A and B are shown apart, each in its own frame.
Chain A
Amino acid sequence: MLVYAAIGLFGCLALIGGAIAVMLRNPVYAVLSLVKSMIGIAIIYFLLSAEYIGAIQIIVYAGAILVAFLFVVMLVNLSSEDIPPLPRGLPLYGGIGLALGWMLLFLWAGFSIREVPSSTQFYSEETLSLPYLYGSVAPLGKTLFTAYAFPFELLSLTLIVGMISASLLVKRKKEI
C-alpha cells in the first residue's frame, strides 16, 4: 500500500510539474517546473527499484538538459511578454480532458483486469516476484555491453555527430 501512496504522491508531483510547464507564460518558471517534474519521475524510477536510471535521470535531465534549456532561455532573452497565452475553449479543455481520461482508462484497466496479459504467461512466478539486483549497475552493464554493444557504439557516434552539428550551427559565418 505504501508503494501505491508513494507512486500517487510523486506521480502527482510529476504531473503538476508538467502541467505548470505546459501552461505557464513565464519561460524560466516553465523550465524550472519541468525540473520538478523530472525529479518526480526520477523518484518513480527509484520506487520501481531502478536506482541507477533514477540517478541518471536526475544528473542528466534535471542537471544538464534542462539547465541547457534555461541557458538558452536566458540567451535569447525570452520573457513572458513574448509568449502568447494559451488558447481557451475547446483545444485546452479538450486536451486536459483527454489527458485525464487516458489516465482514468489505464487506472480502470489496472484495477479491473485480473488475469495476467498473455505476453507474460511464460514468466514463472518467482521471476515476477524477486528482483535480484534488478536496478543496480551490474545487470544493466552486462546487458548493455553484450547484447546491445553495437547500438551502444552507434550511440557514441550519434553523440559526436550531435556535438559537432551543434557547434557548427551556433558558430557565426565569418568564424568558420
Chain B
Amino acid sequence: MSIEILYSVLALAGALFSMGILGLLLRRNLLLAFLSIELLINAANLNFLSFSRYHNEPTGAVFVLFGICLAAVEAVVGLGLIVRVFRVQQDLGFAKLSSLRW
C-alpha cells in the first residue's frame, strides 16, 4: 500500500472526525449528539486500520475490534441513560437538561 492511499484514508478519517465534532457541538438534542459520537469512534477506527494496513501488522486491526466492542458497550449504556432521562424529564433537548438531580 502506498503512502498516498494512507493519506487519502487519513483525510477521510479527519473529515469524518471533524463532522462528528461539529454534530456533537451543534446538535441540541441528547440522542443526536450521542449519534455523532459514533461518527467520532468510526473515524478513530479508520485511522487505526489505515496505519495497520500500511505497516501490514494485525495489531491495529485488533484495536479496531476493541474499538467496535467498546462502542457497542458505550451505545448500550448511553441509550439506557437516555431512556432513563426521557422517563424523568419527557424531553431530550439540552435546554431542559440543566439539573443533575431531581
Contact = CB atoms under 8 A, between A and B. Distances in A.
A34 B75 CA distance: 14
Nearest to A107: B11
Interface string B38-55: 110010011001101111
A96 B42 CA distance: 19
B16 to A, nearest CB: 6
Given A50-B53, A103-B11, A110-B7, A95 B26 contact: yes
A57 B83 contact: no
Interface residues of B, number: 70
Contacts of A61: 38, 42, 68, 71
Given A60-B68, A61-B42, A134-B58, A15 B15 contact: yes
B79 A4 contact: no
Contact of A165 (B18, B58, B80): B80
Contact of A30 (B35, B52, B74, B91): B35
B5 interface: yes
Contacts of B46: 41, 44
A158 B75 CA distance: 13
A111 B96 CA distance: 48
Given A18-B20, A102-B18, A166-B76, A131 B56 contact: yes
A158 B34 CA distance: 20
Contacts of B22: 22, 92, 95-96, 98-99
14 contacts: A4-B8, A22-B27, A27-B29, A37-B16, A50-B52, A53-B65, A78-B92, A92-B26, A95-B26, A96-B22, A99-B14, A139-B58, A143-B58, A163-B76
Interface of B: 1, 3-12, 14-23, 25-29, 31-32, 34-36, 38-39, 42, 45-46, 49-50, 52-56, 58-59, 61-62, 64-66, 68-77, 79-84, 86, 91-93
Given A27-B29, A48-B53, A127-B56, 6 more contacts: A56-B68, A57-B45, A110-B3, A123-B56, A128-B1, A140-B65
Those 9 A-B pairs whose CB atoms lie nearest each other, nearest first: A110-B7, A99-B18, A106-B11, A22-B23, A162-B73, A169-B80, A95-B22, A166-B80, A103-B15
